[in-house]
Amino acid sequence: MPRRQVLGIGGALGLIAATGLSASAALSRRPPVTGAELRSAVPLPPAFQVPLPIPSVLAPVSTSGGADRYEITQREATVEILPGVRTSLWTYDGTFPGPTIESRRGRPIIVRHRNDLSVPTVVHLHGGRSPAASDGYPTDLVLPEDWPDAAHLTHAGDGEHGPEHGMPAMRDPRAVQTRLTRDYAFPLDQRPALLWYHDHRMDFTAPAIWRGLAGLQIVRDDAEDSLGLPAGRRELPLMIADRAFAADGSLDYPALDPTLRERPGVREPYLAGVLGDVILVNGAPWPVHDVDAARYRLRLLNASNARHYELEAVSDDGRRLDLVQIGADQGLLAAPVTHRRLPVAPAERYDVIVDFSRVPVGSRVRIVNRLGSGRTRDVMAFRVARKAADDSRIPRTLSNDLPTWRRSDAVRVRDFSFRAGRMRGDHGWLIDGLPFDPARSDVTVRIGDVEVWRLVADVHHPVHLHLVGFQVLSRGGRPPLPHDAGLKDTVSLRPGESAEIITRFDGYRGRYLFHCHNAEHEDMGMMANLEII
Ligand SMILES: [Cu+2]
pLDDT, averaged in runs of 10, over the chain (533 residues) = 36 40 51 88 98 98 94 98 98 98 98 98 98 98 90 40 44 92 98 98 98 98 98 98 98 97 94 98 98 98 98 97 98 98 98 98 98 97 98 98 96 98 93 96 97 97 98 97 98 97 98 98 98 98
Q: Cα of 396 to ligand 1 centre, how many Å?
A: 36
Find the angle CA(505)-CA(510)-CA(511) to the nearest 5 degrees. 95
Q: Cα of 287 to ligand 1 centre, how many Å?
A: 29
Instruction: Report the candidate in 302, 235, 307 with the shortest Cα–Cα distance to residue 276.
Output: 307
Q: Cα of 493 to ligand 1 centre, how many Å?
A: 9
Cα separation values, 80 from 36, 207, 519, Å: 25, 19, 25
Instruction: Report the candidate in 46, 66, 149, 162 with the shortest Cα–Cα distance to residue 106.
Output: 66
Q: Cα of 102 to ligand 1 centre, how many Å?
A: 30
Q: Cα of 399 to ligand 1 centre, how many Å?
A: 32
Q: Cα of 226 to ligand 1 centre, how many Å?
A: 39
Instruction: Report the candidate in 277, 117, 261, 287 with the shortest Cα–Cα distance to residue 203.
Output: 261
Cis amide prior to 97 (ω within 30 degrees): yes
Specify whether the CB–CB gap between 352 and 344 falls below 8 A.
no
Whole-angstrom Cα distance, residue 237 to residue 380? Answer: 13
Specify whether the CB–CB gap between 193 and 329 falls below 8 A.
yes
Q: Cα of 461 to ligand 1 centre, how many Å?
A: 4
Where does residue 441 rank: exposed (0-12), middle (13-18), buried (19+ CB within 10 A)? exposed
pTM: 0.92
Whole-angstrom Cα distance, residue 511 to residue 437? Answer: 13
Q: Cα of 517 to ligand 1 centre, how many Å?
A: 6
Compute the CA torsion angle 139, 145, 151, 156 (nearest 10 deg). Answer: -80
Predicted local distance difference test score (pLDDT) of residue 171: 75
Predicted local distance difference test score (pLDDT) of residue 31: 66
453-489 burial by CB neighbour count: b if 16+ within 10 A, else e? Answer: bebbbbbbbbbbbbbbbbbbbbbbeeebeebbbbbbb
Q: Cα of 524 to ligand 1 centre, how many Å?
A: 9
**142: number of CA atoms within 13 Å, CB side?**
22
Q: Cα of 351 to ligand 1 centre, how many Å?
A: 24
Compute the CA torsion angle 50, 126, 330, 99 (nearest 10 deg). Answer: 40
Whole-angstrom Cα distance, residue 54 to residue 367? Answer: 17
Q: Cα of 376 to ligand 1 centre, how many Å?
A: 21
Q: Cα of 490 to ligand 1 centre, how many Å?
A: 12
Q: Cα of 134 to ligand 1 centre, how many Å?
A: 25
Q: Cα of 315 to ligand 1 centre, how many Å?
A: 34
Length of the chain: 533
Q: Cα of 435 to ligand 1 centre, how many Å?
A: 12
Q: Cα of 444 to ligand 1 centre, how many Å?
A: 22
Q: Cα of 242 to ligand 1 centre, how many Å?
A: 17
Whole-angstrom Cα distance, residue 10 to residue 466? Answer: 29
Report the largest interatomic distance among the alpha carbons of the chain, rounded to a whole angstrom: 68
Q: Cα of 525 to ligand 1 centre, how many Å?
A: 10
Q: Cα of 356 to ligand 1 centre, how many Å?
A: 36
Q: Cα of 128 to ligand 1 centre, how many Å?
A: 21
Q: What residue type is 164 in one-letter code?
A: E
Q: How far apart are the first and last CA of the chain?
A: 40
Whole-angstrom Cα distance, residue 458 to residue 160? Answer: 34
**Helix count (H) and strand count (E) of the chain?**
7, 35
Q: Cα of 457 to ligand 1 centre, how many Å?
A: 8
Find the angle CA(340)-CA(342)-CA(345) to the nearest 5 degrees. 170
Q: Cα of 212 to ligand 1 centre, how many Å?
A: 21
| Beta-sheet pairing, 68-80 with 109-115 | parallel
Whole-angstrom Cα distance, residue 76 to residue 211? Answer: 9
